[in-house]
């Protein structure tokens, strides 16, 4: 490994990915591994620091997740967060109990006093707000540890053994609600673990290009391009590494947003690769005709996509490598159990092995979304592509409610374009994480000029979210919504009513289907 490595041991906390992102934001490479990772493997990773995440359990429950005590004998600094802090305290001889009364149980934003002579808190104001979420309490702090932060209710919200480089915090420095949380993590990384910030996208790009060239040799590479950020960045990286040994198959299913297909094609003009754009619109429309059920739509699109891709793959002949745009959040194993399937997401990433190939290449496997975007910039992809908001694999098919026709898709494309245009003009494109229009299957009466109309209702959806698992509806200013409404009704046709969706997720989902 040609960069320093920080290990994040996952005890099932809901913020484990966030911790990793925060560490990477400080240009330090880290990976999230399950708490069960054997000690030998941990040693082999040669971490310069270890972070224990939070978790939903209580350390005094016999079945709660733990780790080998020998971790503390590796001579590597450890930062324990919430459950991780309590676990560290318990393993090193302290005592953790359920908080008996409200005094020691803390949730939410809490005024906190820091001992700024402690390395973890150096450079911070003495008073600040931290984000708490714990019902357990460290009744006895282990030997060698000092108390380095307290709140009005709780005397020991942070502990430190500076000699051995062990730190524990009851609160969550990784969430934005904790003031200066990012600085605390930086202090741990740079001033305790001795990190130098050697993880940059420029380095990563060069290193990946070298290793892809080495692996691929003069072999042939095939990639399914969806037009989304991940597959586009993967394509650009492969194009840079192996040029015309790469074939990108871009299945244009006719369910893209306005101009999107052309934009994707244009972005790849500068590379000497085989770019195959398959116009499969009619094929998809035929298969989807008369289908109203969302899950059936997804299934049909997923299948048809694979069929088209397979046909193109066969035309190329033998392929040595298949590229997939899998990214790190898809890879991280979480300590939590299986979640219920709400929607069967179709992703271009999940292709079965139908074409003969030697191996799969996943060059983004270790990157978070923001890092993928950064890599895209390094590779010279245009900003509109790099900053593209997530777009579902089944495309507009799940944004036309009920049966799909080409006419409905065209109406939606125009309306969606106006919405995006007005959001952009209002400078809101980066503060709203996903926004789009939905053509409902409801028609209602309106009046235009002197005439009665009986047309469709368009729904606008805008959400703010960090992980797309939960989301809040975006507070788009009324004036912006007003401009969209006026333009849509006047410019598009067949829409006489515009509504804005003000439900969060849960209970709603982000998409309507």
Footprint of ligand XMP (CB under 6 A)? 298, 342-343, 345-347, 390, 392-394, 434, 468, 505, 509-511
| Residue 509 beta carbon to ligand XMP: minimum distance, rounded to whole angstroms | 3
Report the C-alpha gap between 302 and 282 in whole angstroms: 16
- DSSP state, residue 145: -
User: Quick one: 189 or 225, whose CB is closer to ligand XMP?
Assistant: 225
Cβ neighbours of residue 120 under 8 Å, at least 6 residues apart? 79, 148, 158, 160, 167, 169, 184, 187, 188, 192
Q: Which is nearer to ligand XMP, 95 or 330 (CB)?
A: 330
Minimum CB distance to ligand XMP smaller for 238 or for 300: 300
DSSP 152: S
Q: Which of 199, 392, 220, 207 is CA-nearest to residue 302?
A: 392
Task: State both tokens at 441.
Answer: 């299957």
| CA–CA distance, 504 with 502 (Å, rounded to integer) | 7
Q: Which of 53, 434 has the CB closer to ligand XMP?
A: 434
Q: Are 476 and 501 in contact (CB under 8 A)?
A: no
Nearest CA to 349 out of 374, 331, 375, 337 is that of: 331
10 Å CB burial of residue 340 (0-12, 13-18, 19+) is: exposed
Question: CB neighbours of 21 closer than 8 A, spacing ≥ 6?
Answer: 368, 370
Q: Which CB sits closer to ligand XMP, 319 or 364?
A: 364
- 442, 457 in Cβ contact below 8 A? yes
Nearest approach in angstroms of CB 71 to ligand XMP is: 36
Strands 158-161 and 166-169: antiparallel
Catalytic residue (choose from 106, 174, 240, 260)? 174
Whichever of 346 and 420 has its CB closer to ligand XMP, that residue is 346
Question: How is 364-420 classified by DSSP, letter by letter?
Answer: TTT--HHHHHHHHHHTT--HHHHTPPP--TTGGGGTB-SS--HHHHHHHHHHHHHHH
Count how many Cα atoms sit within 13 Å of the Cα of residue 508 in the half-sphere of its side chain: 14
Q: Which residues pair with 485 in a beta bridge?
A: none
**Total residue length of the chain:** 513
Would you give the DSSP letter of residue 164? T
CB of 493 to ligand XMP, least distance (A): 26
Q: Which is nearer to ligand XMP, 298 or 487 (CB)?
A: 298
Helix, strand or coil, per DSSP, at residue 211: helix
Q: Smallest gap, in angstroms, from Cβ of residue 451 to ligand XMP?
A: 37
Question: In the complex with ligand XMP, which residue's Cβ is closer, 230 or 378?
Answer: 230
Nearer to ligand XMP, 162 or 511 (CB): 511
| CB 398, min distance to ligand XMP, A | 6
Return the ∠ at Cα 482 (arms to 479 and 485), rounded to 5°. 155
Of residues 313 and 349, the one with the C-beta less far from ligand XMP: 349
- Find the shortest distance in angstroms from Cβ 395 to ligand XMP: 9
Smallest gap from residue 345 Cβ to ligand XMP (A): 4
| Token pair for 429 | 């494109």
Contact 248, 274 (CB under 8 A): yes
248 is catalytic: no
Query: Of 26, 134, 172, 253, which is the active-site residue?
Result: 172
What's the closest the beta carbon of residue 21 comes to ligand XMP, in angstroms?
18
Annotated active-site residue 26? The verdict is no
Structure tokens given for 56: 């939903």
Tell me how far, at minimum, the Cβ of 184 lies from ligand XMP, in Å: 31
Give the closest residue to 28 by CA, choosing from 7, 11, 13: 7
Q: State the minimum distance, in angstroms, from the CB of residue 282 to ligand XMP.
A: 22
Please confirm, yes or no, whether 172 is among the known catalytic residues.
yes
Q: Is the dihedral of CA 398, 401, 404, 410 positive or negative?
A: negative
Pair type for strands 49-52 and 5-10? parallel
Eight-class DSSP state of 471:
B
Instruction: Provide the annotated active-site residues.
Output: 82, 172, 174
């Amino acid at each position: 490994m040609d960069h320093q490595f920080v290990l994040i041991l996952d005890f099932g906390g809901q913020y484990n990915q966030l911790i990793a992102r925060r560490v990477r934001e400080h240009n330090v490479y880290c990976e999230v591994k399950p708490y069960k990772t054997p000690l030998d493997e941990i040693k082999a990773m040669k971490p310069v620091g270890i972070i224990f995440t939070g978790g939903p359990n209580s350390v005094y429950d016999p079945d709660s997740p733990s780790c080998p005590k020998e971790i503390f004998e590796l001579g590597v600094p450890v930062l324990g967060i919430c459950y991780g802090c309590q676990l560290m305290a318990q393993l090193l001889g302290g005592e953790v109990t359920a908080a008996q009364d409200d005094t020691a149980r803390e949730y939410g934003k809490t005024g906190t006093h820091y001992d700024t002579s402690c390395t973890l808190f150096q450079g911070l104001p003495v008073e600040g707000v931290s984000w708490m979420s714990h019902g357990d309490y460290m009744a006895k702090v282990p030997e060698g540890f000092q108390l380095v932060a307290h709140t009005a209710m709780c005397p020991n919200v942070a502990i430190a053994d500076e000699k051995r480089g062990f730190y524990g915090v009851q609160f969550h420095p990784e969430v934005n609600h904790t003031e200066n949380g990012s600085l605390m993590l930086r202090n741990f990384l740079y001033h305790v673990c001795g990190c130098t910030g050697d993880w940059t996208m420029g380095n990563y790009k060069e290193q990946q290009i070298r290793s892809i060239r080495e692996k691929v040799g003069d072999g042939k590479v095939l990639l399914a391009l969806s037009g989304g950020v991940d597959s586009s960045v993967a394509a650009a990286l492969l194009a840079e590494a192996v040029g015309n040994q790469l074939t990108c198959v871009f299945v244009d299913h006719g369910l893209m947003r306005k101009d999107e297909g052309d934009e994707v094609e244009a972005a790849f003009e500068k590379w000497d690769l085989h770019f195959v754009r398959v116009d499969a619109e009619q094929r998809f429309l035929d298969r989807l005709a008369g289908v109203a059920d969302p899950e059936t739509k997804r299934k049909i699109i997923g299948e048809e996509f694979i069929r088209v891709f397979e046909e193109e793959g066969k035309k190329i002949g033998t392929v040595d490598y298949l590229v997939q745009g899998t990214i790190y959040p898809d890879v991280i194993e979480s300590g939590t159990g299986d979640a219920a399937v709400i929607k069967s997401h179709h992703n271009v990433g999940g292709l079965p092995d139908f074409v003969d190939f030697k191996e799969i290449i996943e060059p983004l496997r270790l990157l978070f979304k923001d890092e993928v975007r950064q890599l895209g910039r390094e590779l010279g992809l245009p900003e509109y592509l790099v900053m593209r908001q997530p777009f579902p694999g089944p495309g507009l098919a799940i944004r036309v409610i009920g049966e799909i026709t080409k006419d409905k898709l065209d109406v939606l494309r125009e309306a969606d374009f106006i919405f995006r245009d007005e959001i952009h003009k209002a400078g809101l494109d980066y503060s709203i994480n996903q926004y789009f229009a939905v053509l409902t299957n409801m028609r209602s009466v309106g009046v235009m000029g002197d005439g009665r109309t009986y047309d469709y209702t368009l729904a606008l959806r805008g959400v703010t979210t960090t992980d797309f698992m939960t989301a809040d509806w975006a507070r788009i200013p009324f004036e912006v919504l007003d401009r969209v409404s006026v333009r849509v009704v006047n410019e598009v046709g067949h829409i006489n009513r515009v509504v804005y969706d003000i439900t969060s997720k849960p209970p709603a989902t982000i998409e309507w289907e």
